[in-house]
Amino acid sequence: MYKLKLAIRYFLRRRITSLAVVAVALCVFIVVVVMTVMNGLVTEFRSKNHNFVGDCVISTDSLVGFPYYAEFIAELDKQNFVAATSGAIRSFGLLTQPNAEWNLGVEIMGINAADHIGATGFAKTLHYHALDPENVFIPSYNPTLAGCVVGIDLMPSQRNHSGEYYHNPNPPSYKLIISCFPLTPRGGLAKAGTDLVNTLSFSYSDDTQSGLVKVDGRVIYVSFEYAQKMCGMSGETPRISAIYVKFADGAALDESCDKVRQMWRDFVEANKTRRQAFLLENVSVQSWIENRRSTIGPMEKEQTMLTLLFAMLGIITVFVIFVVFYMIISHKSKDIGILRSIGVPGRGVVELFTWFAVIVGAIGAGIGAAAGCGVLVKANNIEDWLFATFGFQIWDRSIYAIGDIPNKIELHVLAVIILSAIAASVVGALVPSIQAARKRPADALQVNSL
Amino acid sequence: MTEILQAKDLHKSYKMGKSRLEVLKGLELCVNAGEFVAITGASGSGKSTLLHILGGLDTPDAGYVEFDGGRIDKFGAGQLNRFRNKMVGFVFQFYHLLDELNVLDNVVLPTMASVGSLGWLARRKRARKRAAELLEQFGLGERIKHKPYQLSGGERQRAAIARSLMNEPRLLLADEPTGNLDSETGNGILSVLQSLNRDGQSIVMVTHDERMAERAGRIIRLADGKIV
Ligand SMILES: Nc1ncnc2c1ncn2[C@@H]1O[C@H](COP(=O)(O)OP(=O)(O)OP(=O)(O)O)[C@@H](O)[C@H]1O
Ligand SMILES: [Mg+2]
């Protein structure tokens, strides 16, 4: 009883304890805010990448593509663990406008809208066709035209001064001319003259905002048939560049990818004597994480770096708390001598200061966490205000594809941070109090001992 | 008469740089139950050191202390804590009250320390009553809610005596209880000790004030690390 009572009294009566509380609170505050924002950014970024490609990608880096895809897609669609599939053409092309004197290298993505919205998060990135994504290639101002979906950063300045995108109520009508490089199965440029069409005119139908810089700034979606034709992949043995697969709910990612991988190996084996079978050799089966590794990797590295930096900050915190407690408890050496002289066991002294540390740690962590949550909840308001008042933006939206500052507080992360702070306080208190409790009372009573 | 305390061949020295400072050199002492013994000696002669050793707050380099026939150097940690808590009451030269607690809480502390939380809840009322009575007896009835720093030196020393008596110890050890007080206040404290002794309390008091020492039942002089 005396332990808790004295612990509370020490807490209330010593001004230096408020320093310890502030130290703990500050550290918890910083860690909560940075961890939440950083975690949020990474999670958001991962989910954007996930949206872009679905769960599993069967693709080739060769611009020539691979044949017999329809049979494999049919096989995939039979599987229970597969929810949806989408075959796609991916290639490069030149973009221009009628009578314009400029052209721009872009990435062409040919998809079947209905398939693609099933297999990926494509639908979520659309604006004018958010409600009828399957009709995304039908321009609303003239349904007879062949539509295209343009990466939002390819559009001429669709942002306001604070970097937010805006849209006119109705899609603007303009034509875009796309030229592709049709390739033979061997990778040569297909000879012109036959029935080759490598240039087509499309009408703007919608834009796509995936949040991925390389997609939004480079990709144009057109419907599958056009793309296949323009890339020279139609014809007798039609080819494709990639198959995107979405797995059924509850299907384990790696396991399902392994199954697809095995299916693909069997498929290659079964078809190895057919024409152009060599093209099947260059195809890889990857989970979305493997497929987007090069994009996600740097971000995750950054997160690891930050976590490491904060681990160091954590060590400094523990040290600061340790020093504060060391000073407080050294200051209390006489009290420890008194307590020991009236028969308080050494264990009791240690418990007393452990309580003290728990009180300081809990209150400090509570204040820090509350302040952190408060700032996070208001983070976007604060940023808006900063921008409105000082023109200051934490993330320049013309560079970062971030809508809002992520501020979703993970309760378990919060709990871990708070408990760690309390643990740090206890560790900081444990060492000096054990030291003091070990002393002979007569020594501890030496008034000026430190 | 029964012996309550016996010190046998006590040696104690402190390191002073390279040399050693021998403070106690084979000291022998015997205190009977119900006795009031005053130990006098020059400053630095080792009085406080001796008293700390007698009360189990310090350990001698050689020799031992027997309390009620048991050697306190043979006590385990728990036994030693019980000894400090129940058998002896210590009054320090500089009062040594806890600044954060009020007078009453300081006085009940020895009882609080000896029981667990539940035990304390059960005993709380009785303990606080006894503490209040002790403080009343020493003329501090009006000051029980005050903090130590709000009391005068004499009042603090009386509060410290009340604390030392809280668990009804067999032996009271007082280190210059009047050292920091004017002679009138000191006389008051001595009267308190004398009346306690008349009620049967065994007391060992350290002082370098001859007039205070004369009011004890027996005077022992400490010089050159021994009783002379
Ligand atoms: N912890 C210690 N370390 C080193 N020397 C010490 C220590 N404690 C006491 N001494 C020395 O031992 C000697 C005896 O000290 P002690 O406090 O017992 O004297 P005292 O008789 O109580 O003196 P006073 O009447 O001034 O209180 C002194 O010379 C002192 O300097
Ligand atoms: Mg002394």
Q: Does B77 contact A335 at a Cβ distance shorter than 8 Å? A: no
Question: A395-436 pLDDT, tens per residue?
Answer: 666 556 566 778 888 898 899 989 988 988 888 888 888 888
| Reported ipTM | 0.93
Q: Given CB atoms, is B170 within the 8 Å cutoff of chain A?
A: no
Q: How far is B182 from chain A (nearest CA, A)?
A: 22
Contact present, A228 and A238 (Cβ < 8 Å): yes
Residue in A closest to B164 by C-alpha: A342
Residue A38 CB contacts under 8 Å (≥ 6 apart), including other chains: A303, A306
Give the confidence band of A449 by pLDDT, cuts at 50, 70, 90: very low
Residue in A closest to B89 by C-alpha: A342
Average pLDDT for B166-170: 93
Please state, in angstroms and rounded to a whole number, the distance separating the CA atoms of residues A158 and A154: 9
Q: Does A440 contact B90 at a Cβ distance shorter than 8 Å? A: no
Query: Is a pLDDT exceeding 60 seen at residue A304?
Result: yes
Max mean pLDDT range (A378-392, A436-450, B37-51, B108-122): B37-51
Q: Does B83 contact A334 at a Cβ distance shorter than 8 Å? A: no
Q: How far is the CA of B48 from the centre of ligand 2 (A)?
A: 4
Ligand 1 atom 30, closest CA: B44
Ligand number nearest to the C-alpha of B19: 1
Dihedral sign for Cα B75, B78, B79, B82, please: positive
Question: A203-241 pLDDT, tens per residue?
Answer: 999 999 888 888 888 999 999 999 998 988 888 889 999
Please state, in angstroms and rounded to a whole number, the distance separating the CA atoms of residues A348 and A344: 6
Residue A370, pLDDT score: 96
Q: Of B90, B64, B63, whose CA–CA distance to B75 is shortest?
A: B64
Query: Counting Cβ atoms within 10 Å, is residue A102 exposed (0-12), middle (13-18) or buried (19+)?
Result: exposed
* Chain A residues whose beta carbon lies within 8 Å of the beta carbon of residue B115: 1
* Chain B residues whose beta carbon lies within 8 Å of the beta carbon of residue A445: 57, 92, 96
Q: Given CB atoms, is A13 within the 8 Å cutoff of chain B?
A: yes
Please state, in angstroms and rounded to a whole number, the distance separating the CA atoms of residues A7 and A54: 56
Please state, in angstroms and rounded to a whole number, the distance separating the CA atoms of residues B130 and B163: 11
Which of A29-33, A329-333, A335-339 is predicted least confidently? Answer: A329-333
Give the confidence band of A157 by pLDDT, cuts at 50, 70, 90: low
Instruction: Please give the distance of CA A104 from its chain centroid, rounded to a whole number.
Output: 29
Please state, in angstroms and rounded to a whole number, the distance separating the CA atoms of residues B10 and B53: 9
Give the confidence band of A4 by pLDDT, cuts at 50, 70, 90: confident
Helix (H, G, I), strand (E, B) or coil at A426: helix
Query: Is a pLDDT exceeding 90 seen at residue A307?
Result: no
Average pLDDT for A184-205: 79
* Chain B residues whose beta carbon lies within 8 Å of the beta carbon of residue A437: none
Please state, in angstroms and rounded to a whole number, the distance separating the CA atoms of residues B209 and A40: 75
Please state, in angstroms and rounded to a whole number, the distance separating the CA atoms of residues A332 and B125: 29
Residue in B closest to A9 by C-alpha: B100
Query: Is a pLDDT exceeding 50 seen at residue A450?
Result: no
Q: pTM value?
A: 0.76
Give ∠ CA A344-B158-B30 in degrees, rounded to 5: 65
Q: Give the number of other CB atoms < 10 A from CB of residue B35.
A: 20
For A151, phi then psi, to 5°, come to -55, 135
* Chain B residues whose beta carbon lies within 8 Å of the beta carbon of residue A337: 96
Question: A37-90 pLDDT, tens per residue?
Answer: 888 888 888 899 999 999 999 999 888 999 999 999 999 999 999 999 999 999
- Domain B36-58+77-227: give its CATH code: 3.40.50.300
Please state, in angstroms and rounded to a whole number, the distance separating the CA atoms of residues A134 and A120: 13
Query: Is a pLDDT exceeding 60 seen at residue A329?
Result: yes
